[in-house]
Amino acid sequence: MAIAKAERLMNLALCLLGTRRPLTKRELRSSIEAYVESFGKGDHGGHDESFNRMFERDKDDLRELGLVIETVEGLEGDVGYLARRDSNRLPPITLDAEEAAALGLAAKIWQQARLAGAASGALQKLRAAGMPLASGDDAVDAPHSALEPRIPAHEAAFEPLMLACRDRRPVVFDYRKSNAAHPERRQVEPWILECWRGHWYLAGWDRDRNAERVFRLSRITGKVRSRQGAFTAPVPDHVTVRETVEVWAGETATGTARIRLRTGHGYPLRARALTVRELGDGWDELEIPNGRGLDAWLVEFGPDVVVLEPAELRADVIERLRAVAKG
């Protein structure tokens, strides 16, 4: 919806909600700036027909959005319109403890984004209504306040991609794969964003590869640029973001691997380790689940990881590191 139209509809809705008596089309025409600028306040022949068409469309749009507009006949031969507040008031909001906690957590995602102010204002209104969303000193009586989870959204690509997913707009960005020295341009139809183990991932349709792909936001370089036009591929009802990333990270294990890991490094690997043995000299030996994509994940830890076995995994990691070094 264009900004001018959205502003015109908002002004019309405010007029209809704010009046104590029905307003005629003539009164609305002279009260709303967008109508005055386009058609003037008086009768101007063809302008009247154009205004009538726009007004009817605007009225239908507001009704489609859920505004209850009443029509009152017999106002000195004219028809009047108003939107009574009691007919357009939402029912009281009731949230259980789990829903309130989830809503508070969702709002925290926007702490570094443009909508942080709007999210904060919404939470304040819910707290004023008695919802258990408070934090810090105000959270004494709030359920789930002992543990205050946070979902980071520091990547600059998060907000434009979230808006593109919402609006179904294709995007273009530069993306650096884990085994590549330089980023590549990707044209993507974004479907969904999902956070997994502290990292945000985008699932969508890669137009150049003509296939579904998942992208880690921290590997997107430069700006995310939106493009005009509709999606060329259907959006699936269910997108398996986590399952795809789990395969990449070796979560779908087909065996085990032994690695040497520098002491004090690689916490994600340590969290998944089946066994850990101190070797001394600043190194530990870990046994971890081995699955498809583990080599790409291990490369991210650079010189802090040395693969001991299996030999195939060691060779794959070395090959990836050499590709990065050559780049």
Q: What confidence tens digit (pLDDT) does each residue in 120-161 have?
A: 666 666 666 555 554 443 433 444 443 344 555 578 888 899
- Walk across the sheet containing 211-216 and list its strands: 211-216, 199-206, 184-196, 171-175, 220-226
pLDDT given at position 246 = 65
Strands (E) across the chain are located at: 23-24, 70-75, 78-82, 171-175, 184-196, 199-206, 211-216, 220-226, 253-262, 275-280, 283-291, 305-309
| Domain span holding position 15 | 3-87
Residue with tokens 């890669």: 206
Tell me the pLDDT band of 222, cut-offs 50, 70 and 90: confident
**CB of 250 closer than 8 Å to CB of 290:** yes
pLDDT given at position 226 = 92
**CB of 239 closer than 8 Å to CB of 192:** yes
Q: Which residues contact 244 (CB under 8 A, 6 or more apart)?
A: 203, 214
228 and 255 both lie in a single domain: no
**92 lies in some domain:** no
Kind of pairing, strands 184-196 and 171-175? antiparallel
How far is C-alpha 104 from the geometric centre of its chain's CA atoms?
A: 15
* Angle, in degrees to the nearest 10, between helices 3-18 and 46-64: 80
Q: What confidence tens digit (pLDDT) does each residue in 10-48 have?
A: 999 999 998 888 999 888 998 898 888 888 766 555 578
Last residue of a domain, one of 218, 239, 260: 239
16 and 70 both lie in a single domain: yes
Residue with tokens 């591929």: 233
Radius of gyration of the chain from its Cα atoms, rounded to whole angstroms? 28
Q: How many domains does the chain have?
A: 4
* pTM score of the predicted model: 0.44
